[in-house]
Amino acid sequence: MNQYSSVCRTMRARNVFEGAISPPADLTIASADWLPQILNKRGNLMNINGNFVIRRLGVFANFADGFVFANAAERLNLFLSSQAYTRTVIGGGDLSMTLGSKAVTGTGFAGNIFDQNILAVPYAGTETQYYIVDGDPADDNNLDVTDYAEKDVVAAPLTKLTSLPNYERLDYTRISELNYMWDVNEFISPLAFASVLATDVVITVYVNQNSLNFGDSDITFLTKSISDTYDGDIAHFDVVGDIEYTS
């Protein structure tokens, strides 16, 4: 019996790293090569007036057990920022996204959206999806986001999220095995850090970046067990989390 009226969902921060492999050569991923991605990508799911618990976290790769930690001293570190935001509608702004693309076209970008600002994009019905802007827009009509669009989208007006001062952070360090869910059980209460202005709470994931204990760090994987027929193919890494939250 669920006496707390809670829901537990598995969420995925997709494509925190993408890169070509050349087995049996080592795969070295520099700290700067990891992209920040959003764990609770679908908005409107979690109740920001309730509480949530990050039950488990894991880093998953499409080549699975083929990646072996090369150095005993190196491990993966996850830094999660649960940040409160307020929505701003940009008058005269619109956007267009294409399934499977990171490119966004539209109007009203320049001067309104800055590095790692977040767009709230229509998804289905009243639901939205969050996308992180990948650097400052080149001009008023073009920008890139850090993850691929999951559907074709044409939306107006343009809506961005602006961060509020306070946030909750989690430094989960020393992940020593891929494709495994590690127990975390971190309790987070948005009411403890979000003001009355908050419209959204977004959990952004950083890998081997911003760690309070280890800072930024590189990682090297052995790839000898991966067939050389995969030479030049792309490895994808995702962060997966089980999040329980009250409705």
Indicate if the pLDDT at residue 226 is higher than 90.
yes
Q: Compute the average pLDDT of residues 18-27.
A: 97
**Higher per-residue pLDDT: 29 or 90:** 29
Give the C-alpha separation, 174 to 214, whole Å: 9
Q: Is residue 14 part of a domain?
A: no
Q: What is the pLDDT of residue 232?
A: 97
With cut-offs at 50, 70 and 90, classify the pLDDT of residue 160: confident
Question: Who has greater pLDDT, 133 or 115?
Answer: 133
The reply to whether 16 falls in a domain is no
Q: In the prediction, which pLDDT does 4 show?
A: 64
Model pLDDT, residue 1: 44
Contact 153, 99 (CB under 8 A): no
**Residues 122-149, mean pLDDT to the nearest whole number:** 90
Distance separating alpha carbons of residues 229 and 172, to the nearest angstrom: 35
pLDDT tens digit sequence for 56-79: 999 999 998 899 999 988 899 999
Average pLDDT over every residue of 127-148: 91
Mean pLDDT of 139-146: 92
Residue 108 tokens, joined: 């009203």
Residue 5 falls inside a structural domain: no
Mean of pLDDT over the chain: 90
Global confidence as pTM: 0.92
In a domain, 223, yes or no: yes
26: in domain? yes
Q: Say what percent of the chain tops pLDDT 70.
A: 98
Question: Is 144 within a domain?
Answer: yes
Residue 7 lies in a domain: no
Burial call 186-205: b when 16+ CB within 10 Å, e when fewer: bebebeebbeeebbbbbbbb
The reported pLDDT for the residue numbered 34 is 97
Torsion-angle region of residue 211: left (phi > 0), alpha (psi -120 to 50) or beta?
beta
| pLDDT score, position 109 | 87
Q: Report if residue 185 sits inside a domain.
A: yes
Q: Total structural domains in the chain?
A: 1
Range of the structural domain that residue 156 is part of: 22-164+172-203+216-246
